[in-house]
């Protein structure tokens, strides 16, 4: 399913997106706190791309600017995570991230009937944490030594969530921000 609102469009990830994403993914700042450093080699990037199940090519005003996805779907609990998001630095601070989060949460809550949308980020990622707080999503804590990243480094993960009870207020806030 293609998701679209204002100037943000999310297209389900397909094989033809790989080369275009690789072409824009060369800035090392994109990968600093990601699980892998996809810019370091074509093989690493391909491995990352092949590992994405429910991903989307992320467009802003018709221009490909990155990737985001659903992950860790727990159908029985009606919970889904949004993450694995990266944007080219020129899209940082443009509303592209907020627009994508809006589209993914709207689809999860309104079309799929999820009760909870989760987000996790490297606990040291102050930019992502500030963006998640601004959505607004609720900070729920830090899981210490939560995962192995970038060749075996231990990562603490900061967890955030929006639940269905919060969605109407979060939706209104995001719609107001995105219409500015």
- Rounded distance between C-alpha atoms, residue 24 and residue 154, angstroms: 28
Round to the nearest angstrom and report the end-to-end CA distance of the chain: 26
Q: What angle do CA 81, 171, 136 make, to 5 degrees?
A: 65
Q: Are 123 and 155 in contact (CB under 8 A)?
A: yes
Is the model's pLDDT at 97 over the cut of 90?
yes
pLDDT score at 6: 83
Is domain 3-178 annotated with CATH 3.40.630.30? yes
Q: Are 47 and 25 in contact (CB under 8 A)?
A: no
Say which DSSP state 82 is in.
E
Measured torsion, CA atoms of residues 118, 67, 169, 158, in degrees rounded to the nearest 10: 40
pLDDT score at 60: 97
Say which DSSP state 115 is in.
S
Q: Model-level pTM?
A: 0.93
pLDDT score at 103: 98
DSSP 20-42: HHHHH---HHHHTTSSS-GGG-H
pLDDT score at 40: 86
- pLDDT tens figures, 114-170: 999 999 999 999 999 999 999 999 999 999 999 877 778 898 999 999 999 999 999
Domains of the chain by residue range: 3-178
pLDDT score at 63: 97
Is the model's pLDDT at 38 over the cut of 90?
no
What's the average model confidence in pLDDT over 57-65?
97
| Beta bridge mates, 8 | 5, 60
Q: Are 132 and 97 in contact (CB under 8 A)?
A: no
């Amino acid at each position: 399913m293609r998701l679209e609102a204002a100037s943000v469009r999310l297209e389900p990830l397909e094989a033809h997106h790989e080369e275009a994403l690789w072409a824009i993914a060369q800035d090392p700042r994109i990968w600093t706190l990601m699980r892998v450093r996809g810019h370091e080699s074509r093989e690493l990037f391909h491995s990352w791309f092949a590992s994405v199940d429910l991903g989307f090519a992320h467009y802003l005003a018709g221009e490909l600017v990155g990737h985001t996805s659903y992950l860790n779907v727990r159908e029985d609990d009606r919970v889904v995570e949004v993450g694995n998001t990266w944007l080219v630095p020129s899209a940082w601070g443009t509303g592209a991230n907020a627009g994508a989060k809006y589209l993914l949460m709207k689809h999860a809550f309104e079309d799929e009937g999820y009760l909870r949308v989760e987000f996790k980020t490297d606990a040291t990622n102050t930019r992502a944490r500030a963006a998640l707080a601004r959505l607004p999503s609720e900070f729920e804590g830090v899981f210490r030594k939560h995962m192995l990243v970038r060749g075996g480094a231990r990562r603490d993960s900061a967890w955030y969530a929006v639940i269905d009870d919060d969605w109407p207020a979060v939706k209104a806030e995001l719609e107001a921000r995105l219409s500015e």
